[in-house]
Amino acid sequence: DQQVKQNSPSLSVQEGRISILNCDYTNSMFDYFLWYKKYPAEGPTFLISISSIKDKNEDGRFTVFLNKSAKHLSLHIVPSQPGDSAVYFCAASFISNFGNEKLTFGTGTRLTIIP
């Protein structure tokens, strides 16, 4: 059962335009959401996060929107740059039964920025 879903395996966007990456989740216990970016042969790097008490968080060119009622979040990148070409993972978190923070990842969306 995939609790965090990224239904678009790939996305191509013209340089300078807005990139919108989407993520849906099914587990209502999730209350913290993160986006990671991954380049080939490297580990994921943290990009931006949002807690369930907010509906928007912005950091420079990156904005994450959370719609709790729809169990949906999105990452907006504007303007898109060639260096943004990477695989983007959505992740969700809650305190597990062991008291540990636990991340559940989506399958990723490969973003390609076209110069």
Partner 1 sequence: SAVISQKPSRDICQRGTSLTIQCQVDSQVTMMFWYRQQPGQSLTLIATANQGSEATYESGFVIDKFPISRPNLTFSTLTVSNMSPEDSSIYLCSVDRTEKFLYNEQFFGPGTRLTVL
At which residue do the structure tokens 């990148």 appear?
Answer: 77
At which residue do the structure tokens 């990842």 appear?
Answer: 105
DSSP-assigned letter for residue 41:
T
CA–CA separation, 17 and 15 (whole Å): 6
| Binders of partner 1 in range 69-108 (CB under 8 A) | 89, 91, 93, 95, 98-108
Confirm or reject binding of residue 29 to partner 1 (CB under 8 A): no
Span from 13-21, 31-39, 56-64, 76-84 in contact with partner 1 (CB under 8 A)? 31-39
User: Which residues contribute to the site for partner 1 (CB under 8 A)?
Assistant: 2, 4, 31-32, 34, 36, 41-46, 49, 51, 89, 91, 93, 95, 98-108
